[in-house]
Structure 1
């Protein structure tokens, strides 16, 4: 249930942070990280680790993304 909910939120919003998931689901970061880890292991989502991909997903013409974007944002494959 939680697995599907988090996956759906990330898919619908394009980019999500753990902090935003915490606010939307009223859950702690450890619970969310456990589900996110499982989603990553199952190749359902990925974290942003590529500047070009980050810019594309943000739908902006940017030269580079701040380092926090690459570490904290998650999106679907």
Structure 2
């Protein structure tokens, strides 16, 4: 069965996000002063052939750990859909 797997990769909360800070500054310059913080990450979509949603998640987790996310600087969340 094919599963659509969505992986969100974000900078660790304790690390500075220079890209997010630049966007926050730009939003402030546009008059959007109520936005207090911006974090910029990646959204990755995979189509995975697997026998179950749990297997699809396991495959995506392995791909994330080995290639898609840098565990020193980033964390990831996986969502599986049919």
Q: What's the TM-score bracket when you normalise by the shorter of the two chains?
A: under 0.3
- Structure ranking higher on relative contact order (CA contacts 8 Å, 6+ apart): 2
> TM-score, normalized by length of structure 2?
0.25
Give the number of the structure whose residues are more often helix, by fraction. Answer: 1
> TM-score, normalized by length of structure 1?
0.26
Give the number of the structure whose residues are more often strand, by fraction. Answer: 2
